[in-house]
Amino acid sequence: MVATSESVNSTWILNLTNDWRGAGLVFVGLIDIVVGAMALYASRHILRGGRVGQFLGFLFAAVSVLKWLIFLPATPALAVVIIVLDVLIIYGLAHNSDYFETSL
């Protein structure tokens, strides 16, 4: 694991935990927890056929496409794969819109 971390130069993050910038990592972690909880909420509603889940699915996939368009120069292969998956998610949610209830 250490060799992999060294090869991609990701060990710089270990030096941030005792620095003033380390507090930003805690904030990013809290944002990730909130986004993860929203994703669980959306997935529950998608499985039950709710429009809220469909809307949140569209929202998460669209934001993910925009995010990975920014990362496209850094990791082109991974970015293209994730963008294609997000487009398939958007297509699936739009194509099967009759599965979802009409009320919010």
pLDDT at 25 over 70: no
| Average pLDDT score over residue span 51-78 | 91
Any idea what DSSP says for residue 57? Answer: H
Condensed to tens digits (0 to 9), the pLDDT of residues 34-48 reads 988 999 999 999 999
| Average pLDDT score over residue span 26-34 | 81
Report the interhelical angle of 51-70 vs 76-95 (nearest 10°). Answer: 160
Domain assignment of residue 104, yes or no: no
Domain assignment of residue 89, yes or no: yes
pLDDT at 9 over 70: no
Any idea what DSSP says for residue 49? Answer: T
Count of the separate structural domains present in the chain: 1
* pLDDT for position 1: 53
CA distance 49 to 29: 30
Domain assignment of residue 91, yes or no: yes
Q: Which domain holds residue 65?
A: 2-99
